Structure 1
Amino acid sequence: MTESEFLALADATLGAIETALERAAESGDLDLECSRSGNVLEIEFIDNGSKIIVNSQAPMQEMWVAAKSGGFHYKRDGARWINTRDSSELSAALARMVGEQGGVSVALDGF
């Protein structure tokens, strides 16, 4: 994948995450705020002040996630972002992290 293809895909992924989380917050008890600056999406949980940061790393062509549970790297494998250590998928892992930090179970579509 070229750098410009990666940047376009990463931008679309960050946008999809933000949209999915905003929908989850609107339809349930999840109280969070998303803010985006360039290639960094900050997810802040209003109730406890904790954050999850999702950002793209163009040199490695990866998406990185920093949460209370740790730091994770995801590389594109076909149509999915896959964890470079345990092969988990980004949307499922992010749903778990949001549930842990936000105290509310959420389902996020694949991105």
Structure 2
Amino acid sequence: MSETEFLSISDDIFRRIENALDDAGLDVDCVISGNVLEIEFDDGAKVVVNRHVPNQELWIAAKSGGFHFARRDGQWIAARDGAEFGATLSQVVSAAAGETFQFSV
């Protein structure tokens, strides 16, 4: 995929994450700045989603660790364990919020 395509796809994912957080009614601050989407919770905990343009990967950083996802067969899959991006984001946001959150790409 071209860099332009990657940026367009990841822009859409960032917007969808922001909308999903709003729809879930979670009390978070969500800020997109360049290649980073930062989700901050009331207690100061953060989940950061970063797009790494050179490798065309999406990264998630959370208290539980860091996760890297590459696009394979239309899905964002972690090389380390085969986890899917939406499932991982759902888990780390749910853990930080203390409430169930669901996101799918």
TM-score range relative to shorter protein: over 0.9
Choose the corresponding residue for 1:60, options 48, 55, 72. 55
Note the aligned Cα RMSD (angstroms): 1.0
- The equivalences for 1:27-66 within 5 A come to 30-46=26-42, 48-66=43-61
**How far off is 1:106 after superposition?**
1.5
Paired residues, number: 105
List runs of 5+ in structure 1 lacking aligned partners. Answer: none
**How far off is 1:22 after superposition?**
1.4
TM-score (norm 2): 0.94
CA contact (8 A) 1:73 1:84 kept: yes
Choose the corresponding residue for 1:87, options 67, 82, 85. 82
Q: In percent, how many aligned pairs have the same letter?
A: 47
TM-score (norm 1): 0.89
SS at match of 1:59: coil
Choose the corresponding residue for 2:69, options 65, 74, 98. 74
Residue 19 of structure 2 corresponds to 19
CA contact (8 A) 1:40 1:56 kept: yes
Q: Following TM superposition, where does structure 1 have runs of at least 4 consecutive aligned residues deviating by more than 2 angstroms?
A: none
**How far off is 1:32 after superposition?**
1.1
How many angstroms apart in 2 are the aligned matches of 1:7 and 1:105? 29
